[in-house]
Amino acid sequence: MEQSGGFPGLEGKRVAISAGAGGIGLAIARVLHRNGATLAICDVDEAALKAASVELGDCLALRCDVSDEGQVDAFFDAIEAQHGGLDALVANAGIAGPTGKVDELDPAEWRRCLDIGLTGQFLCARRAVPMIRAAGGGAIIHMGSAASKHGYAYRTPYSAAKFGVIGLMQSLAKELGPENIRVNAILPGIVDGPRMEGVIRDRAAQKGVSYAEMEAEYLKNVSLRRMVSMEDVAASAAMLLSDHGRNLSGQSLAVDGNVETL
């Protein structure tokens, strides 16, 4: 039965969301909660976790750095203990990474960006898949970016991680499809919010232009000439996890207003 939020098949589904206490992750959690899903969220911001858990019906909420295998294991062990299993995963955690010329990048910052944005998604999928398999199937969403399909000058670590996400998703879609596990990626474009503000500010400083000039330069490369909202991304995630997405797998859904180039 379709719920008031408009996405059938989410009622009672057990969904884990990494970086679920803020930004896109929280926006996804909110729409899933409205549609009756049972949520488990993790994040590195403990204060945000507490607030999000209350808002989401006192859902399971644990601190977890997804680049740390032990912390990821503890999160999924808690899901198993409290919810008895899992039906879906939204591997959402990632960081913007450094901005700079390739010969100026700190290798430690490079590794940190890939450890969170790519290896973290693998570590979450590694633990989620046996639980989703035991439930008879389900769905996984990997969070990519417009930078998953465009090279991104001066943001090399971020783009490399997000290109890797597509390879991970497509491989898992082939591997897990026969077990009734659908795997897709969402590729947000220029998302209105604090993270994008920071990216634009850093890029403006790197180029020696104003924030307004840099923002205009970003938007001129978007066919619709506007940013997307976190709610746009969340609605797409809900669709993929719902019965509406039951035959969608191996897809990269760009929610970006058609980013032409970065």
158 annotated active-site: yes
> What is the pTM (predicted TM-score) of this model?
0.93
CA-based nearest residue to 146, from 122, 126, 166: 166
- End-to-end Cα, the chain, rounded Å: 41
The residue ranges of every structural domain in the chain are 14-189+228-255
Q: Which helix (H) or strand (E) holds 252?
A: strand 252-255
Read off the pLDDT band of 195 (50, 70, 90). Answer: confident
Residue 190: predicted pLDDT: 92
Residue 2: predicted pLDDT: 37
CA-based nearest residue to 132, from 142, 121, 140: 140
Residue 41: predicted pLDDT: 98
Question: Can you tell me the mean pLDDT for 130-145?
Answer: 98
CATH superfamily of 14-189+228-255: NAD(P)-binding Rossmann-like Domain (3.40.50.720)
User: Tens digits of per-residue pLDDT, 224-262?
Assistant: 999 999 999 999 999 999 999 999 999 999 999 999 998
Is residue 4 scored above 60 in pLDDT? no
Give the Cα separation of 102 and 79 in Å (integer).
40
User: Tens digits of per-residue pLDDT, 73-115?
Assistant: 999 999 999 999 999 999 999 999 999 999 999 999 999 999 9
Pick the catalytic residue from 152, 154, 158, 211. Answer: 158
**Structure tokens belonging to residue 20:** 């679920």
